[in-house]
Amino acid sequence: MIENKIKTWIDNSNKNMASSMVILKVNDENIENVFNSIKKLNNLKRHFFVNKIDYIQQENKFSLINQILIIKKNLYIPIHEMKNNIRRGGIYIEDDRSIEIFINALDINRIDSCNEIKYEVIERTDFLTILQDKTSLRKFLFDRVEILKKIGIHALDKHIEFYMLVLDYYIKHNVIAANLIHKLYQIVNLDFESSSRAIGDKISLICGVKSKATHISNIYISLRRYVKSNIKVYDLNFNQIEYDTKLNIAIKLLNLDSKDLTVEKISKITELPFCEIEKLYKQKYIR
């Protein structure tokens, strides 16, 4: 049975333990009514921390529990605050009737009515699982980009065609543009605060390979509209960390200087090509 995230949130909020945000996007004329309707539900046992963003650059202090954020449609949203707070996840509701049902459910604890609420969930998921599921990757990426845009987070910094091209190349060849995999890491982990270098280090650790530059002609020449000549990519066909580990084992086996450990045997043990072990052998014994 699929979990109803709204029901879970309300259950947790009754214990003052709801950690993710609920984000309500309302029409301009309704913002005060929605804000006041939720505020009046607070009591000694349960408290909702309600913020409304109804004018440019309004300062808001967010709570780690029972946070409800109300935003106007078609309004500028303070990017830094949203990027920082979305890391704990969110539930997004923009349908007017669903917002009404949600407030009513908070009021009289009508948990059964939560099934009628239309909502979208923004939450962290496993990066490697998403990256490797090439059949669902395209839909996940652009669906997540769209929902983030609704709350004021514009995750992509290049034209949509750029991402279509490099995504297509990754699906076919298992070589992914650094910009794309960095953006994917951000939206999967809801991490919009870490530096590009920090994200790159994490990706290299997870995928076992570092980025390298290649000419756009090796991918699609039409990328020249978006990059000058070279583009950084991660070749996921090659695991640098795994290779370095095997190479280190081969060197240690050669250093044992055992007659039983021939070049051929070490090649089989480490699963490295015979020619590479032979090269190491010559470097050690033939000057």
- What's the rounded mean pLDDT across residues 102-128? 90
- What's the rounded mean pLDDT across residues 159-165? 96
Q: Give burial (CB, 10 Å; 0-12/13-18/19+) of 59.
A: exposed
pLDDT band at 56 (very low <50, low <70, confident <90, very high): very low
pLDDT band at 73 (very low <50, low <70, confident <90, very high): confident
- What's the rounded mean pLDDT across residues 124-136? 95
CA distance 181 to 94: 30
Residue 2 tokens read as 């699929």
Supply the pLDDT for residue 82: 84
pTM: 0.82
Where are the domains positioned within the chain?
A: 5-122, 128-235, 240-285
**Average confidence score pLDDT of the chain:** 89
Greater confidence (81 vs 181) lies with: 181
Q: What is the DSSP string of 123-158?
A: ----HHHHHH-HHHHHHHHHHHHHHHHHTT-----S
186 has pLDDT over 70: yes
80 has pLDDT over 60: yes
- What's the rounded mean pLDDT across residues 123-127? 95
110 has pLDDT over 90: no
The most confident of 58-67, 136-145, 151-160, by mean pLDDT: 136-145
- What's the rounded mean pLDDT across residues 99-125? 90
pLDDT band at 283 (very low <50, low <70, confident <90, very high): confident
Alpha helices in 190-256 (DSSP H): 196-207, 240-255
Alpha helices in the chain (DSSP H): 5-13, 31-39, 79-85, 96-108, 127-132, 134-150, 160-173, 178-189, 196-207, 240-255, 263-270, 274-285
In this structure, what are the phi and psi dihedrals at residue 126, rounded to the nearest 5 degrees? -80, 120
CA distance 280 to 272: 11
- What's the rounded mean pLDDT across residues 245-253? 85
117 vs 3, 6, 86, 190, CA distance in Å? 13, 8, 21, 24
Percentage of the chain beyond pLDDT 70 is 94
Please state the length of the chain. Answer: 287
Over its C-alpha atoms, the chain yields an Rg (Å, rounded) of: 26
